[in-house]
Amino acid sequence: MHDDRHLVEGRLERAMRQFVRPAQYRDKVPLSLSVWHAPGEPVPVAEALAGTYAPFEPGTAWGRPWSTSWFRLSGQVPEAWAGRHVEVVVDPGFSGDGPGFQAEGLLYDASGVPLKGIHPRNRHLTVAERAAGGEPVHLLLEAAANPAVLRDFEPTFLGDVRTAGDRPLYRFRSADLAVLDENVWHLVLDVEVLTELMHELDPDRARRHEILRALERMLDALDLHDVPGTAAAARAELAEVLARPAHASAHRVSAAGHAHIDSAWLWPLRETVRKASRTFANVTALARDYPELVFACSQAQQYAWVKEHQPHIWERIKKAVADGNWAPVGSMWVESDANMPGGEALARQLVHGKRFFLEELGVETEEIWLPDSFGYTAAFPQLARLAGAKWFLTQKLSWNQTNKMPHHTFWWEGIDGTRVFTHFPPVDTYNSQFHAAELAHAERNFAEKGAASHSLVPFGWGDGGGGPTREMLEKARRLRSLEGSPRVEIEKPGAFFEAAYAEYGERAPVWSGELYLEMHRATYTTQAKTKQGNRRSEHALREAELWCAAAALRDPSYAYPYEDLDRIWKTVLLHQFHDILPGSSIAWVHREARETYARVLTELDGITARAVGRLGRGGPAVLNASPYPRREVVAYDGQLVRVDVDGLGARPLDADATTPHGPGAHAAATVDDGAIVLANEHLTVTVDRDGLLASVRDLDRGGREVLAPGARGNLLQLHPDHPTQYDAWDLDAHYRHTRTDLTEAESVELVEEGPLRVAVRVVRSFGASRITQEYRLAAGSGRLDVLTDVDWQESEKVLKAAFPLDVHAERSAAEIQFGHVHRATHANTGWDAARYEICAHRWLRVAEDGYGVALLNDSTYGHDVTRTPHERGLGTTVRLTLLRAPHSPDPETDLGTHRFTYALLPGAGTGDAVAEGLALNLPLRVAPAPALAPLVSVDDPAVTIESVKLAEDRSGDVVVRLYESRGGRASATLTASFPVAGADETDLLERPLRPAATSDRGLTLDLRPFQILTLRLRPA
């Protein structure tokens, strides 16, 4: 037989494009339009109903960037359309950009009840499935003129309403009443399913040719000048090939409706409120027509927004949950970044998410649902299980640039040994459209073939929202069992996980440690002020909860600020969303984030001050929110003061605190041949004429030199930074090919000469930028602080601070949530080489046997660690990634002034790094207060207290969360400074698991490495 495949396929493509698809809506009448342009930010529908509307004609431009226009649509169903399927079809000027990345709208009825969202792939609203004829139509369209920001990563000022200009973005095309010809519509879907499947089948397979010939017969039966009249006959020619069942061995797909809605990204937070409303209206409307629909939806914050702003849609969601069409998933407040949130914050993501779903919808969610976050901390398996989650899902690892993940269904093992059953859908998208190419890829790509047969496919328009469409549901019906395709079953994600576990759970492989994304490494650094706001807010919340709990225990009349702390926590958790905290959102988002963090910190400072004021009279006293005792120098009343204070306690300032105390306590500075030498009883630090560290000697280890031979420390290095595409996201490896060392100093000046503290100030200028750094060494401290002020005016550059260390380290240890992870310092394998930029929280440590050095920071997450040969062996260079300057999606990313601190800690063990990292991030507070014994304390320094608060149920119980922080086993006793009537171990939601073990001294704790333990203490 002659091969005429391409001729038939070409004939089919033209017939569908020119004749069949246009025939879906053959009869149309335009609706009358009028418009009211909202004068600023979005308004409630009640205000729009009261607006003054002016006549509006199709073809008219509308919509300055980020504005909202309300359109009244009016008309009447023609009598001649009686008995036919009538719809309103709206096109406010959709462009080629996909749903969620341009104009969007929500249709309301005449009384203001929301009906359905519209977007480029979902433009209709059904007026009547069988019209009576003559029905009036009165609708209100809330149309958002959202600009398409991300165009080839070119710089644009469209990303902030203040800089976007006033030029209208869209031209309103049409708003019609139209008759949907259901035979033609179904024919289109039949053809699409078969054509897509045909193209995925190998040309030598008979099934491909059977489909081709059926499509050819369909074309022969179709009169292209009377498509509606011949569509039924054309469909009949396809019935047999559509009825062929799938093979018994076909891959099985559990399909869950989905609409990934970034809580902020290329739009501000306020727009996400509306995106969620549009999408959720679509889904609840779709469920009425397709009872098999299951919509998996995460992010409790978005539910809360809809509950507040769209009560009608909220009621429809509750009904859909009750009816089984809606599956709350994810267990988290938002789909957060999974690298940078602190340990307690990540726990609270789960606490607030789980609690919302339980209290508002009666659902105990059982999975972590993070398809799009940029890598996943090795602390997650334990946190998931402690929150009552059984499953974990991610999709993002399919973006790896170097190494392909070897598993799709596996056990993920965390740093403490906890495992969680995990699925990584082989379809490699969380926005499937049920295209045959996607399903075929899922089957071919599935790593567990032969051992398992089941994978998950989330389907629906996403990122900017949109969700499933009726066309997707129709395709799913055709694909339920179709020869040549995987079997498709729409069901809840939980049903998939149960089936996958039953099939493969006992034999599934194990992946141990972090799920590192080999891409988007710059998200540890971009938008430094957003990251700093997060870090400081996390620690301010820790401090506020501690002192509020102390005040409540000491003063029965004190009202613990439950509502305020709950609200603030949710604000901080929201800003940990995986495009806010990573710095990959538009300028508007980060401008508002900076403003929000400033308000949060101000409010928390007030909450803490009021709580401290209720502790009693006394003082001034120094208060320590760290669980470790501290001996530090602080500024008080215009002078430096030396203080000693227990962990989680308060101690009055000593009368002689302005002088050094302790054996050999001192801090002194000398000038030697242009170099400045800073010294105390632990360190001798030499700052050379260029303002660089020429020598750091550890006096506690026999004067050991910390820096590598011939190298200088705190060397600022500037690299060009031009990622291949994802500007804000990526730090591509080629950035390291070119480097400028910033060695020239404008001034090097001794600014403090002791006896409690010595300091050297160094000023440098480079490009259009200026940096001022102050080295500080305090009496009694083994830590050299580097206080840094930068006026950053660079373009597409990355700034690093390098510390070449005389330490032969095979691996680095970086703090993560509730512990640390080790990463190789070499690049032996592709997996090692791909980790050329890594994330650390408050500290990163490198060590050889018997000696280690840590770098601490108060707001920096990005680091790199390399092996550096020198004249006497092999050293290790640790660099902190301080600032970037990408142009997209924010063209002025990080420009302006920055203030942060990092520190060098020679001779550091893991415990030293933990304690000093906390000290750097929790500055001592001096306030009028009495002496206060630690609220709770633990007698093993390997056990770190993470948080102390009152229980969320307002019982007055005290909740203490702690963990083993050094990677070993710990046996300890916890004591409280208040009488305790009883204690339980609980899950993260403070639900009792078992009674806590007790002895005469207190609660006895036996912890495995990195174990997290939550205790609930009942005050007597």
- DSSP letter string over 85-102? -EEEEEES---SS-TTSS
User: Could you read off the pLDDT of 576-607 as tens digits, one per residue?
Assistant: 999 999 999 999 999 999 999 999 999 999 99
Whether residue 654 has pLDDT greater than 80: no
Q: What is the mean pLDDT of residues 143-150?
A: 96
Q: At 787, which helix (H) or strand (E)?
A: strand 784-792
Whether residue 662 has pLDDT greater than 60: no
**Tokens representing 283?**
């889904």
Q: What is the mean pLDDT of residues 115-135?
A: 96
Strand order in the sheet with 925-927: 650-652, 621-623, 925-927
pLDDT at 661: 54
Instruction: Quote the percentage of the chain above a pLDDT of 90.
Output: 96
- Average pLDDT over all residues of the chain: 96
pLDDT at 97: 79
Rounded Cα distance, 540 and 342, in Å = 12
Question: Annotated catalytic, 637?
Answer: no
Q: What is the mean pLDDT of residues 955-972?
A: 98
**Tokens representing 95?**
């462009």
Q: What is the mean pLDDT of residues 756-768?
A: 97
Q: Which residues, 6 or more positions from 250, have their beta carbon under 8 angstroms from its beta carbon?
A: 443, 485, 486, 487
Cα–Cα nearest to 459, from 434, 485, 491, 489: 434
Whether residue 664 has pLDDT greater than 70: no
The single-letter code of the amino acid at 583 is G
Q: State the residue for tokens 């969202």.
A: 117
Q: What is the mean pLDDT of residues 841-848?
A: 98
Cα–Cα nearest to 490, from 638, 286, 319: 286
Of the residues 176, 262, 337, 372, only one is catalytic, namely 372
Which own/partner pairs from 897-900 qualify as long-range (CB within 8 Å, at least 24 positions apart)? 897/789, 897/790, 897/791, 897/792, 898/528, 898/529, 898/532, 898/788, 898/789, 898/790, 898/792, 899/787, 899/788, 899/789, 899/790, 900/528, 900/532, 900/788, 900/857, 900/858, 900/859, 900/860
Q: Which residues, 6 or more positions from 396, have their beta carbon under 8 angstroms from its beta carbon?
A: 370, 371, 372, 373, 374, 375, 517
Kindly give the residue spans of alpha helices, DSSP state H, lying in 882-972.
910-921
Q: What is the mean pLDDT of residues 48-57?
A: 98
pLDDT at 26: 85
pTM over 0.85: yes
Q: What is the mean pLDDT of residues 648-653?
A: 92
Chain center to CA of 62: 34
**Band of residue 96 on the pLDDT scale cut at 50, 70, 90:** confident
Q: What is the mean pLDDT of residues 728-757?
A: 97
Strand partners, 11: none
**Tokens representing 626?**
């760290």
Rounded Cα distance, 825 and 813, in Å = 10
Q: Which is it for strands 68-76 and 367-369: parallel, antiparallel or unpaired?
A: unpaired
Q: What are the φ/ψ torsions at residue 331 (nearest 5 degrees)? A: 65, 10
**Band of residue 619 on the pLDDT scale cut at 50, 70, 90:** confident
HSE-up of residue 874 (Cα within 13 Å, Cβ side): 11
pLDDT at 833: 98
Which stretches does DSSP call E strand in 344-425? Answer: 367-369, 391-393, 409-413, 419-423
Cα–Cα nearest to 916, from 924, 928, 908: 908
Q: What is the mean pLDDT of residues 607-611?
A: 97
Residues 17-53: b if buried by 16+ CB within 10 A, e if exposed = eebbbebbbebeeebebebbbbeeebbebeebeebee
Whether residue 1007 has pLDDT greater than 90: yes
Strand partners, 69: 37, 143
User: Could you read off the pLDDT of 678-735 as tens digits, one per residue?
Assistant: 999 999 999 999 999 999 999 999 999 999 999 999 999 999 999 999 999 999 999 9
Hey, is 474 helix, strand or coil? Answer: helix
**Band of residue 218 on the pLDDT scale cut at 50, 70, 90:** very high
Q: What are the φ/ψ torsions at residue 223 (nearest 5 degrees)? A: -90, 110
pLDDT at 672: 87
Burial of 772 (0-12, 13-18, 19+ CB in 10 A): middle
Least confident of 1-10, 357-366, 443-452: 1-10
**Band of residue 659 on the pLDDT scale cut at 50, 70, 90:** low
**Band of residue 1005 on the pLDDT scale cut at 50, 70, 90:** very high
Whether residue 213 has pLDDT greater than 70: yes
User: Could you read off the pLDDT of 196-212 as tens digits, one per residue?
Assistant: 999 999 999 999 999 99
pLDDT at 663: 55
**Band of residue 410 on the pLDDT scale cut at 50, 70, 90:** very high
Whether residue 988 has pLDDT greater than 60: yes
Rounded Cα distance, 664 and 126, in Å = 84
Q: What is the mean pLDDT of residues 756-771?
A: 97
Whether the CB-CB separation of 297 and 259 falls below 8 Å is answered with yes
Q: What is the mean pLDDT of residues 1007-1017?
A: 98
pLDDT at 481: 98
